[in-house]
Every structure is written in C-alpha cells, then in structure tokens.
Amino acid sequence: MMGNLPELQEQDPGVKQMEWTDKYGGVVSYRGMIGTRRLLVSDPKALQHVLMNSYNFPKPAGLRAALANILGEGVLTAEGHKHKIQRKMVNPTFNNASVRQFTPVFNRHARALVKAVDELYHNKDHEALSPATDRLQGAFRKRNLGTVIDVLHWTSRTTLDVIGETAFSYDLAALKSGENGTAIAASFNKMMTHVGELTIKERALLHIEQFSFFDGHRPLKTSFNKSAIDTQKTVEDVAGRMIDEQKKAQVVEESDLLSGILACNEDPKVPASQRMSRREVLGQLTTLILAGHETTSTSLTWTLWALATHPEIQTRLRDEIKDFWCDVDDDLLFDEIHELEYLDRVTSETLRLHPPVHSTNREPAKDGYIPLSKPIRQADGTLTDRVLVSKGQPLILSVVVYNRRKDIWGEDAMEFKPDRWLNLPEAVTKSGIPGGHLAFISGPRNCVGSKFALTEFKVILAHLLRRFEFMPLPEDLVDISSKQIIVTRPRVKGLESEGTQMPLLIKPIKEA
C-alpha cells in the first residue's frame, strides 16, 4: 500500500535516496503509494534536460493543487502560458536595482535581531532564547555549558519581518511580539507546526490526494488542508486590503514587491490577455511569504550549525567580515556584500550540502526519452544511456542527492568545505547546472528571487557573526536530525514533540 515511502520517512531527507543512488546510479525506480512507480533522478544531464524543458515536464496536477492550498495561484503553482505571464510580471521586481533598494531593510532587521538576542543574553532569559529546549535547561546548567539559543526560532522571526516589509510594507512584528504577534505570523506558524506533527495516515492522505482520481475533488477535508487554506486566506486578506487601498488612491508607488508587481500588471501598454488576475496577484504574495521567509531562515539556520561545528571556518569568515566592515554603524551595501569571497563560498557550500528544498516533482507531458551523463544498468542487466518515460510518469528530481554525490563532488562530498568552490571537480563544471548546486533549480522555473534571498541571507549572517560566536552543544544532550516540513528543517532527536529547532551555544564576541 505505502510502497517505499515508510523507509524514506524513517530517515533524514536524502539518506535512503543516496543509498539507492550509490547502488543503482543516477535514475532509480522505486514505489510510491499503492505501488506507483516513481523515478528518482540525480543524473546531471537528466536533471538539466527536464529543468531546461520545464514546460514539457510540468509539475503534477495533484502536487500543484496541494501547493495551491498554501501558496495560492502564484508563480510556483502556475504552468504553461499562465506561468510565462506571471514570470514576466514578477521578474522586474527582483532585478538587481530592486534588491539594492531593499538592502537597507535587510540591515535594519538584522540589527533588530542582534539587539533582541543581545538583550535576552544579558538578561539571562534562557526560556525566551530557546523556548523549545526548556526541559533540557537543567542539564545545560548542571554542566555549566553557557547560554543556548534556538537559532531557527529567531532567524524565522527575522525573515518573516523582512518579507512582510519588503513584500507589502506590512509590519508583522514577529521579532517583537513572537510568532503569534499578528494574524499572518500566527497562522503560518500554526500550519508549519501542524505539518511537523502529521501522522503516517495523514501523510498518506497527502500522497493519495495527488492521484488523478481526485481531479476536480480537491482539496479533501483534511486537517492539513484546513490549516493551509486558513493561512493562505489570512495572507490574502491583508494583501487584498493593500491592493484596494493603492487602487483607491490611484497611486502605485514601487516601494515594495507588491507595488512593483502591480505597476507591471497595471501598465497600459500590457494587453488584458497578458495581465494577471486579482487571485494571481494575491498568489504571488502567499508565495513570497513561504519562498521568501521560510527558505532563507532555514538556510541561515543550517549555516550557523555548520559554522558552529567548524569553528575554524567560522573564525575565518568572521575575520573577513570584520576586515571589510569596519564601522558596524554603517550599512552593508548590496554591491559590497557580494564582494566578500569567503562569505560567497560558505554560502554556496551550505546551499550545496543543506538545500532548503530537497527535491522537486515533475512529469512528462508526453512519451519520450531522458538522456543520461552516465549509463545505468536496467532490470534485465543491460546498460542504457537514456531512460524511456511515459506521459504522466512521476519524476522526483533530487536536489540533495545530486548535491552530495561523491562521483560528482568527490569523496569528501559529505563534508563542509567552502574552499572546494575554488577548484570544483570537472564533473561539476561540465554538468551544465548554473552555479554548480541546484538549490535554486535551473531553467525557466528557476528561483525568481534568488538574488533577493542571497543578499538578505548574507546581510543577516554578517550581522550575527560580527556580534556573536556560535558553538555546538554536546551530542549526548542535543543530537540534530532533519525533517522535511515543506523545507528541510532541523530538530532534536528525543524532542520531536517540541517541533523543529536548532539549539546552539551563543556568546557575544567581546566575551569570547
């Protein structure tokens, strides 16, 4: 009934898939719900073929319907002509000039984060710094370990505030009031918590609902769908009021992402057939909340963990930041932050080893072949350098497996080594994959906000490292694993009921 899904759920995202890939090669056949054949793809040539021809390999209708419950009718759920129209409208809002305009916002919220954490540290408010590890505080004190912070808790608050201001000039007050500080923050946090608590039965329903049998009958009345739809409606209510206010005033000031999208969409030169509907405009905002907040906070969290467990890399990166950024009262500028070479390598290495989203699903629109860079052995024992796929065949494009394959990245592929980006293996440079890793996908459906995300990520990370040192907790107390909850979030083994979290020791630099 469940196919191979239970064994995939038992381990961290990508672990079982990597075992299969090491044994069978870049395309592996396994079973999904009710025995459905699925193809796990990590061969670089196959990945590029599918991603660069994305309109011939759309996302499955069932998956798009499931995503639409959360994201609405935005750029991540649209296909074909609708997707082309939406990308055309959204692209200008994420160009370098637009991101440069938002960089002061990134700096302001990064400073607010540093100030809030600094105050709690000196006030010894351990519960506020790491609320999910409350029952471990006694063990921390007994060993005299120091102050613990849940970095996921705090980066998530910060990036949510950033996307609230940059997307639609809305103060979510997540950092000040907590994740229940406003309607959007509260509903989003409730949904993410619910996803992490889904039972095997509820997860099975998520998969079953995507079968074509349910076309026209989605969404099913499940607790997850209710939570997702409530979140989407909350975001749409806020965005809808702002759209109405701007139209009523007959002024479109391109001060945030929403106004930029509206300016493009309302341009008199754009024919009606090339414009987005109101629901599609609203869909861009619900998409921004998830893609612009959750992925960035998750990446920051895994980076701080990697730096905490590699103190020599953390020190080297901090030295680069301090040498470049002498006066902390000055803002880090857009062009300057991207000139920091070691910061860039650390960023790339984190996105390679810990991509926020571990895979993306596609299906062929018609029968055909997918080419391979390396032959694989078929069930009959023969070798083939291409795979026959039929219309509708589920394809699981594994970002995390490709990013960690030893035959592509080298025997040290599972190690955190930023300097590998100084001299990448030929298998990477000749893969055709832009940037080397697949964290932002590639092709016509690549991440439209990648420059925005990278700039925000680097600014916040620089502010944190300029002020604090991060260290890991003893593994016998805190053993970190990961869980796929829309994105790949960390959690503590034995504390799964407390939700996702990343507790680390923290110390201000002046006291280090």
Q: 40-50: per-residue pLDDT in tens?
A: 999 999 999 99
Q: Give the angle subtended at the CA of 403 by the CAs of 399 and 408, to the nearest 5°.
A: 130
- pLDDT of 332 over the 50 cut: yes
> Residue 136: its pLDDT value, please?
85
Alpha-carbon span 482 to 130, nearest angstrom: 18
- pLDDT of 217 over the 70 cut: no
Identify whether 219 is preceded by a cis peptide bond (ω within 30 of 0). yes
Q: Are 26 and 47 in contact (CB under 8 A)?
A: no
List of domains in the chain: 5-511 (1.10.630.10)
- pLDDT of 254 over the 80 cut: no
- pLDDT of 235 over the 90 cut: no
- Burial of residue 250 (number of CB atoms within 10 Å: 0-12, 13-18, 19+): exposed
Please indicate if the annotation marks 447 as binding a ligand. Answer: yes
Please state the rounded mean pLDDT for residues 331-336: 95
Query: pLDDT grade, residue 117 (50/70/90)?
Result: very high
Contacts of 180-183 with C-beta under 8 Å, sequence gap 24+, read 183/234, 183/237, 183/238
> Residue 178: its pLDDT value, please?
56
Report the range of poorest mean pLDDT among 293-307, 391-405, 490-504: 490-504
Rg (CA), the chain: 23
The percent of residues in the chain predicted with pLDDT above 90, rounded, is 61
- pLDDT of 383 over the 70 cut: yes
> Residue 357: its pLDDT value, please?
92
**Buried-state track 207-223, b at ≥16 Cβ within 10 A, e below 16:** bbbbeeeeeeebbeebe
Query: pLDDT grade, residue 247 (50/70/90)?
Result: low
Please state the rounded mean pLDDT for residues 152-180: 85
The 10s digit of each residue's pLDDT in 3-25 is 888 888 888 989 999 999 999 99
> Dihedral through CA 244, CA 249, CA 255, CA 258, nearest 10?
20
- pLDDT of 97 over the 60 cut: yes
Query: pLDDT grade, residue 485 (50/70/90)?
Result: confident
Distances (CA, A) of 455 to 91, 117, 345: 16, 22, 14
- pLDDT of 478 over the 90 cut: yes
- pLDDT of 157 over the 80 cut: yes
Render 59-90 in DSSP notation, one character per residue: PPHHHHHHHHHHH-SSTTT--HHHHHHHHHHH
Q: What is the mean pLDDT of the chain?
A: 89
> Residue 511: its pLDDT value, please?
47
Give helix 295-308 / helix 450-467 axis angle, nearest 10°: 40
Query: pLDDT grade, residue 228 (50/70/90)?
Result: confident
Please state the rounded mean pLDDT for residues 86-110: 94
In terms of pLDDT, which residue wins out, 125 or 290? 125
> Residue 181: its pLDDT value, please?
54
Alpha-carbon span 210 to 207, nearest angstrom: 6
Query: pLDDT grade, residue 168 (50/70/90)?
Result: confident
- pLDDT of 384 over the 90 cut: yes
- pLDDT of 437 over the 90 cut: yes
Alpha-carbon span 397 to 395, nearest angstrom: 6
pTM for this model (two decimals): 0.93
Query: pLDDT grade, residue 246 (50/70/90)?
Result: low
Please state the rounded mean pLDDT for residues 386-412: 97
In terms of pLDDT, which residue wins out, 148 or 242? 148
Please state the rounded mean pLDDT for residues 405-415: 97
> Residue 2: its pLDDT value, please?
79
> Residue 512: its pLDDT value, please?
43
Query: pLDDT grade, residue 125 (50/70/90)?
Result: very high
Neighbouring residues of 119: CB distance < 8 A, sequence distance ≥ 6:
none
